[in-house]
Homo-oligomer: A and B are copies of this chain.
Amino acid sequence: MSMGIPGFRFSGIASGIRESRLDLALAVADAPAVAAGVFTRNLVRAAPVEVAEQRIRSGQAQAILANSGCANACTGHPGLRATLDSTAAVAQALSIRPAQVLPASTGVIGEVLPAERIAEHAAELVAALSPEGHRQFAEAILTTDRFAKVARVPIQGGAAVLGIAKGAGMIHPDVGLDRPHATMLCFLFTDATVERDVLQQALVHAADDTFNSVSVDGDTSTNDVVFALASGAAHGSVNPKALTTALTQVCEELARAMVTDGEGAMRVAQIVVSGLPTAEQARAVARTIATSVLVKTAMHGCDPNWGRIFAAAGRSGVPFDPARASISIGGRTIVRDGLGLGAEAEQRARQVMATASYTIEVALGTGPGEAQYVTCDLGAEYIRINAGYRT
């Protein structure tokens, strides 16, 4: 993925927030871009989330300033001040207004962002900007991610979407630091020409079907954000449906990369629930299965333990007739009409579960409602990382 996207430049540098690695990222549009965003619904929200949400209301932004190593969450007034100061310093170096800069942070919670350090590196960060700098940008926002997450998809009829993300589902602590913390960040850049409302709608739709349908551990962060900027470098208005399709495709690729990169994760499963009256009901069942600790540990052990899947569906709060339920793993049916099909069927399912990626299909009736959720296994490595043994 060596191509950038017309109308944007990117950089990523080591500013010393974290020890000897890239930790500060900047994306800049050639001119003010159309901007949309979605933000964590967690009531406890970091300073950069509050500031970005307020600034994006104008429908415009020209830059994104992101850092790893410090979430600047639960830091009160000093934290708010630090976010305002650091975006102001970078705005000055870019000769734009601070309100044009959207902040995003990930890393240690409870510690104030070192705004002075960022101000000292603002000129260097701007000097490093390049149309091909998205690789450095992607590296600089990682915490304990095992790999950078970049995706690029063409929009039917012209233009394209470039997406850059970090995180392993909702949670990705940084073991080396004093206060492990979790965040999902995603930044989408397109050269399409699009109105603000169309971009916002397309983004909400794309995020709902992708990021809001994956889980590593069910814990929602205080810092999660998705921003979308449109430069309009590709002239001629974009088809809204084509834009939504492309955004969704990029988000899906990035969301799946996060689950694959989930702490200690060895396997990814797509939970497909069907046959209910509404898609919302199907999603509630899929979410309950995807976040069940028992289902996730069974995945870890490659155990086609359908009783756990069935029981999770049963406690989801959604009504269905257990006697009409069927469960398949990778197309191998192990439960039909609510009854297990025996050891041979399970042995076939077990073979599928030994692979890196598979589907778990749960059919609960004949209704049209269907939904999907992507989850990963829960293993001892996850515990090792998250139990917070500090070095």
Contacts and interface: CB of A to CB of B under 8 A. Distances in A.
A44 B218 contact: no
B294 A293 contact: no
A71, A303, A311, A387 — which one has the most chain B CB atoms within 10 A of its CB? A311
Contact of A222 (B181, B311, B323): B311
A165 B282 CA distance: 35
A180 B310 contact: no
A179 B305 contact: yes
Contacts of A71: 307
Given A41-B315, A312-B219, A76 B181 contact: no
Contacts of A298: 386-388
A43 B219 contact: no
A313 interface: yes
A36 interface: no
Nearest to A173: B294
A123 B281 CA distance: 49
A338 B46 CA distance: 12
Interface string A329-362: 0000001011110010000000000000000000
A255 to B, nearest CB: 18
Most buried by B among A173, A307, A315, A343: A307
Interface residues of A, number: 64
A3 interface: no
Contacts of A389: 301
Interface string A61-88: 0000000000101111000000000000
B339 A292 contact: no
A114 to B, nearest CB: 16
B294 A217 contact: yes
A294 B218 CA distance: 9
A303 B340 contact: no
A179 B75 CA distance: 48
A362 to B, nearest CB: 12
A307 B178 CA distance: 11
21 contacts: A41-B315, A42-B314, A43-B315, A43-B322, A44-B311, A74-B340, A76-B338, A110-B339, A180-B303, A181-B307, A182-B294, A182-B311, A218-B293, A222-B311, A297-B387, A297-B388, A298-B386, A301-B387, A305-B388, A380-B380, A382-B383
Across the A-B interface, the 4 shortest Cβ-Cβ residue pairs = A44-B314, A301-B387, A109-B307, A303-B388
